[in-house]
């Protein structure tokens, strides 16, 4: 027997819906938990009609909505979570419109409420569903079939991981007794044979029988491998049944036939998939090919009208030497990008060339019949539009005008050593930066590290630009303060009547270096090599002689200055430390450290009033109590340490992280000893 509805608000909504369906519409908010879900129903005026908590299951919630509100439910709203896909799919099957909103955005809205409970959260979600859904991101929920495939992929990955872990454990146990399983075992059977062979050798040599311990693990590896094969068979069947996956499989087979024998490819970094993409890179028919070409079966054919435009752009760049001027010249000549329609029916062109388009066109090696991929050069199957001589001249001009060689006059903090600094192995360190708020932090990083952010090799360098530039500028200016010793080291004979002029010129040059004038430093510094315990600065003797108005006849190309500093790793970055333990950039106070001391002083003054405690400060600052306690301790730092921080002369061991995490003693002398001062 169905229980009779007695709630007056629900009865009123149902009565209003019979008169006017629009008046009886309700919006439902769900605060989903693992076991139970809080449900809140609002009418069109935002009034709570009903609130209840029930089991987290779409059937239970759907039965509740159908019984009490029939077809009057406008939208059911919830936030993303572990159970949202299950609930959203089940409710949609019952005919409800479900809105799944981004959990982070919903949390920011709900955090404004004073009392945070499941019931209040459900009401807040219902209110968002009723009035604010347009301002939040609605998340697409994948189908159950997608999650089924994902579950199979995850399970296969876990099984492979477990099998490899067990095999590595067996290898480790065998190494203890001098056994070694040779690499190259492609199947579990081959691997088992090799392990059993090593077990027999160990038994004969050491008299130790490891088979009772190792064979059960081998059996487990074989069972795991059988499960992996079973899952892979199911995935292959799913792929064969899906038309999109079948298209990928046909394309892969076609490209595999283009490669022939992958073993002939010498590059170990080029995988089969990259070769597949590479072999058809110049023959793409899924969109527009580069300007000047059109698809022609499995290759590209030249479109002469468009090719003439490409040749004209290369010629104009050689004449003008500036992409901006080329763009202006093309616009004044009435030359625009030809209008072309891709196979996707997307129309491009029909408007003036942009500088970005011209840069891309001038640097595209497809115009000389080549395909460049990760440093490798491959011949394409299409004809070239640009002659090799013209291409080389344009690339040389582009390299000369690249950003690293510009004056940097418009930059607030230009990279002084761009294209001149290398590590001890000769690998270039390129200028990079990161922004936090409005602050820009510059670094010199290994080129390989820049292109692979996940690389964590111990010899990779990421040096703060300000520190390395300060070290180079200081060393160079100090050397210029004694120009006679510098010129003697270069083997230049001085004339006594010109000595005063040379000293005056050297003094002006040292001042320009200390002011970090980019053009002066770029002219003097030929190369900077960063070693673990020193920096080697290659000084251009010719530039020095020009600046001091000296004849450089019979002088060497350069002389080397060394600065004894050592590299100390701090996280991913490296710090340059002098022999006395102080950073190279000493004398410039660290704003972060000063802000930390100021915060410690302000919080301590608030605590001294007795009207506030640490928990209140933590709540106001949106941090935890422990963090506030660690910062407040800095109010009792030794005066010597505080003075060093304010003067910028603290050692590298005194950092914001070290101050917050160190076990700070009460005695000031012990604090000074702790930080090595």
pLDDT digits (tens, 9 = 90+) for 150-160: 888 899 999 99
Query: Coil, helix or strand for 353?
Result: coil
475: closest CA among 532, 559, 574? 559
Please list, in sequence order, all residues whose beta carbon lies within 8 angstroms of the beta carbon of residue 581, skipping any fewer than 6 positions away. 651, 652, 653, 676
Percentage of the chain modeled with pLDDT above 90: 8
Whole-number pLDDT of residue 257: 65
Whole-number pLDDT of residue 31: 92
Return the CATH fold of 293-403. Answer: Hect, E3 ligase catalytic domain fold (3.90.1750)
Residue 331 or 610, more confident: 331
Question: Residue 277 above 80 pLDDT?
Answer: no
Whole-number pLDDT of residue 287: 56
Arithmetic mean of pLDDT, 162-187: 79
Residue 451 or 362, more confident: 362
Question: Residue 290 above 50 pLDDT?
Answer: yes
Whole-number pLDDT of residue 586: 53
Whole-number pLDDT of residue 269: 47
353: closest CA among 406, 317, 387, 383? 317
Q: Tokens for 59, please give them.
A: 């059937």
Q: Which of 78-87, 180-189, 262-271, 441-450 has the highest mean pLDDT?
A: 78-87
CATH code 3.30.420.40 region(s) in the chain: 8-141
When pLDDT is cut at 50, 70 and 90, the band that residue 272 belongs to is very low
Whole-number pLDDT of residue 37: 93
Question: Residue 313 above 90 pLDDT?
Answer: yes
Alpha helices (H) in 265-354, listed in sequence order: 272-279, 304-320, 323-332
Arithmetic mean of pLDDT, 511-524: 85
Arithmetic mean of pLDDT, 308-314: 92
Give Cα separations from 155 to 224, 237, 334, 365 (angstroms). 11, 17, 61, 44
Whole-number pLDDT of residue 404: 45
Contact 563, 625 (CB under 8 A): no
When pLDDT is cut at 50, 70 and 90, the band that residue 1 belongs to is very low
Question: Residue 194 above 90 pLDDT?
Answer: no
Please calculate the CA angle 381-385-389 and round it to the nearest 5 degrees. Answer: 110
Least-confidence region, from 66-70, 295-299, 342-346: 342-346
Arithmetic mean of pLDDT, 430-459: 67
Whole-number pLDDT of residue 260: 58
Question: Residue 455 above 70 pLDDT?
Answer: no
CATH code 3.90.1750.20 region(s) in the chain: 293-403
Average pLDDT, whole number, for the chain?
79
Whole-number pLDDT of residue 275: 46
Arithmetic mean of pLDDT, 84-89: 88
Helix (H) or strand (E) holding 573: strand 573-577
Whole-number pLDDT of residue 41: 92
Question: Residue 284 above 60 pLDDT?
Answer: no
pLDDT digits (tens, 9 = 90+) for 537-560: 888 888 888 888 887 766 777 888
The C-alpha atoms of residue 512 and residue 198 are separated, in whole angstroms, by 71
Question: Residue 579 above 70 pLDDT?
Answer: no
Residue 592 or 653, more confident: 592
Q: Tokens for 143, please give them.
A: 């189908």
When pLDDT is cut at 50, 70 and 90, the band that residue 40 belongs to is very high
Arithmetic mean of pLDDT, 287-303: 81
The C-alpha atoms of residue 312 and residue 289 are separated, in whole angstroms, by 19
- Cross-strand pairs, 372: 377
Question: Residue 526 above 80 pLDDT?
Answer: yes
Percentage of the chain modeled with pLDDT above 70: 82
Least-confidence region, from 164-168, 332-336, 383-387, 492-496: 492-496
Question: Residue 286 above 80 pLDDT?
Answer: no
The C-alpha atoms of residue 148 and residue 152 are separated, in whole angstroms, by 6
Whole-number pLDDT of residue 39: 93
Phi, psi at residue 5, to the nearest 5°? -80, 125
Question: Residue 650 above 60 pLDDT?
Answer: yes
Instruction: List own/partner pairs for 47-53 with CB under 8 A and 24 or more apart.
Output: 47/9, 48/9, 48/123, 49/9, 49/10, 49/13, 50/7, 50/9, 50/10, 51/119, 51/122, 51/123, 53/118, 53/119
How many DSSP H helices and E strands does the chain contain?
Answer: 26, 20
How many CB atoms lie under 10 A from the CB of residue 96?
20
Question: Residue 450 above 60 pLDDT?
Answer: no
Has domain 8-141 been given CATH number 3.40.190.10?
Answer: no
Arithmetic mean of pLDDT, 167-178: 86
Classify residue 384 by burial, with Cβ atoms within 10 Å: 0-12, 13-18, 19+: middle
Question: Residue 647 above 90 pLDDT?
Answer: no
Query: Coil, helix or strand for 559?
Result: strand
- Cross-strand pairs, 53: 38
Whole-number pLDDT of residue 451: 47
Question: Residue 283 above 70 pLDDT?
Answer: no
Residue 158 or 268, more confident: 158
Contact 32, 81 (CB under 8 A): yes
290: closest CA among 300, 298, 279? 300
When pLDDT is cut at 50, 70 and 90, the band that residue 107 belongs to is confident
Contact 559, 541 (CB under 8 A): yes
How many CB atoms lie under 10 A from the CB of residue 598?
11
Question: Residue 73 above 70 pLDDT?
Answer: yes
Q: pTM for the complete prediction?
A: 0.38
Whole-number pLDDT of residue 2: 43
């Amino acid at each position: 027997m169905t229980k009779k509805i007695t709630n007056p608000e629900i009865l009123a909504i149902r009565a209003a819906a019979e008169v006017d369906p629009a008046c009886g519409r309700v919006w439902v908010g769900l605060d989903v938990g693992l076991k139970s879900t809080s449900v809140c129903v609002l009418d069109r005026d935002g009034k709570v009609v009903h609130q209840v908590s029930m089991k987290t299951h779409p059937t239970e919630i759907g039965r509740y909505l159908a019984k009490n509100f029939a077809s009057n439910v406008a939208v059911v709203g919830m936030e993303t979570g572990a159970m949202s896909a299950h609930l959203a799919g089940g409710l949609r099957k019952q005919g409800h419109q479900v809105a799944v909103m981004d959990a982070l955005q919903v949390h920011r809205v709900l955090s404004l409420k004073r009392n945070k409970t499941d019931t209040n959260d459900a009401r807040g979600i219902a209110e968002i569903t009723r009035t604010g859904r347009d301002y939040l991101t609605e998340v697409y929920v994948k189908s159950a079939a997608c999650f089924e495939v994902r579950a199979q992929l995850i399970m296969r990955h876990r099984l492979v991981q477990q099998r490899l872990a067990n095999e590595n454990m067996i290898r480790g146990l065998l190494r203890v007794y001098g056994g070694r399983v040779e690499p190259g075992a492609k199947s579990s059977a081959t691997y088992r044979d090799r392990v059993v062979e090593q077990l027999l050798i160990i038994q004969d040599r050491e008299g130790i029988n490891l088979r009772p311990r190792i064979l059960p693990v081998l059996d487990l590896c074989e069972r795991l491998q059988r499960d992996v094969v079973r899952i892979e068979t199911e995935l292959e069947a799913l792929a064969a049944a899906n038309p999109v996956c079948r298209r990928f499989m046909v394309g892969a087979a076609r490209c595999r036939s283009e490669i022939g024998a992958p073993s002939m490819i010498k590059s170990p970094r080029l995988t089969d998939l990259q070769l597949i993409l590479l072999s058809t890179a110049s023959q793409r028919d899924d969109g527009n090919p580069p300007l000047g070409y059109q698809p022609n079966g499995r290759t590209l054919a030249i479109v002469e009208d468009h090719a003439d435009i490409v040749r004209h752009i290369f010629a104009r760049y050689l004449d003008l030497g500036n992409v901006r001027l080329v763009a202006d010249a093309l616009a004044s000549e009435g030359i625009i990008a030809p209008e072309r329609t891709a196979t996707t029916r997307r129309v491009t062109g029909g408007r003036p060339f942009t500088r970005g388009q011209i840069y891309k066109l001038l640097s595209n090696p497809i115009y000389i019949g080549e395909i460049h991929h990760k440093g490798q050069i491959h011949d394409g199957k299409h004809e070239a539009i640009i002659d090799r001589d013209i291409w080389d001249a344009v690339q040389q001009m582009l390299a000369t005008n690249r950003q690293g060689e510009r004056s940097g006059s418009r930059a607030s903090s230009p990279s002084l050593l761009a294209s001149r600094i290398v590590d001890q192995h000769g690998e270039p360190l390129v200028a990079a930066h990161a922004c936090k708020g409005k602050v820009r932090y510059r670094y010199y990083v290994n080129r390989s590290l820049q292109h692979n952010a996940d690389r964590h090799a111990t010899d990779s360098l990421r040096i703060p630009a300000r520190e390395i530039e300060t070290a180079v500028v200081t060393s160079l200016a100090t050397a210029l303060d004694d120009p006679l010793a510098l010129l003697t080291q270069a083997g230049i004979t001085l004339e006594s009547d010109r000595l005063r002029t040379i000293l005056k010129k050297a003094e002006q040059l040292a001042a320009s270096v200390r002011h970090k004038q980019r053009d002066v430093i770029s002219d003097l510094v030929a190369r900077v090599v960063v070693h673990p315990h020193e920096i080697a600065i290659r000084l251009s003797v010719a530039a020095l002689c020009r600046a001091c108005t000296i004849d450089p006849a019979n002088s060497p190309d350069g002389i080397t200055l060394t600065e004894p500093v050592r590299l100390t790793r701090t996280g991913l970055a490296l710090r340059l430390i002098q022999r006395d333990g102080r950073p190279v950039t000493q004398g410039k106070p660290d704003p972060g450290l000063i802000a930390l001391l100021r915060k410690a002083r302000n919080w301590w003054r608030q605590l001294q009033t007795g009207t506030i405690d640490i928990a209140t400060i933590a709540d106001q600052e949106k941090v935890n109590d422990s963090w506030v306690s660690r910062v407040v301790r800095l109010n009792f730092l030794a005066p010597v340490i505080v003075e060093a921080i304010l003067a910028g002369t603290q050692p590298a061991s005194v950092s914001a992280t070290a101050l917050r995490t160190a076990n700070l003693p009460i005695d000031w002398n012990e604090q000074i000893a702790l930080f090595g001062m």
